[in-house]
Amino acid sequence: MSSDFCAVLLAAGQGSRYRAVAGASEDKLLVRCRGRDGSERAVLEHALLALRANLERVLLVTRPDNGGAMALAEAHGCEVLTLDSAGMGESIAAAVRHMADCAGWLIALGDMPFILPATVGRVLRALEEHPLVVPSWQGRYGHPVGFGHSHRAALMALGGDRGAKRLLGEEGVYELAVGDRGVLWDVDTPAALGFEGVAPG
């Protein structure tokens, strides 16, 4: 596991698209699904485990009222930062300030349970050589995205609901082609809980 890099798992959103279909009381982060390894776990737990398999420090950013998410993070030895905001930019900035001493940050999303741990490892290895790494599947950018220490100021300057996507338009982005469709697969609706091609590959 890498001791120099940290992971930020963003989970402070309201999940409104999911709730619109599944019901207002349903939290997509806590619903169970079958992961790439065949295990039945909460969506957020699959995402946490893929990061924890590769990193010692993982920070979950979630809402103060999401006790279920906080409990999962603490059960797997992750740090928790609560933020009363669904803005992705604000979440990233707060997380990087909280972990400012890291050599770099892997930005991941809590509603992406199908990324293989091996893919996370590949992004980390590429980050040792490149300051900005984004995995892609069939030419489409996905997650987690790796940022080296040189991007710390830019990440801390983010705000509102604008994430770090604008930084991917800069020169120097290393596109890491992967055969893992999980880098694109987020759970926005209940239908997305059934991943096409569950077996690792």
Per-residue pLDDT tens digits of the chain, which is 201 residues long: 445 899 999 999 876 777 676 677 778 999 999 999 999 999 999 999 999 999 999 999 999 999 999 999 999 999 999 998 768 899 999 999 999 999 999 999 999 999 999 999 999 999 999 999 999 999 999 999 999 999 999 999 998 766 666 677 666 799 999 999 999 999 988 889 988 654 433
Q: Does domain 2-192 have CATH number 3.40.50.300?
A: no
Full-model pTM? 0.91
Radius of gyration of the chain (CA): 15
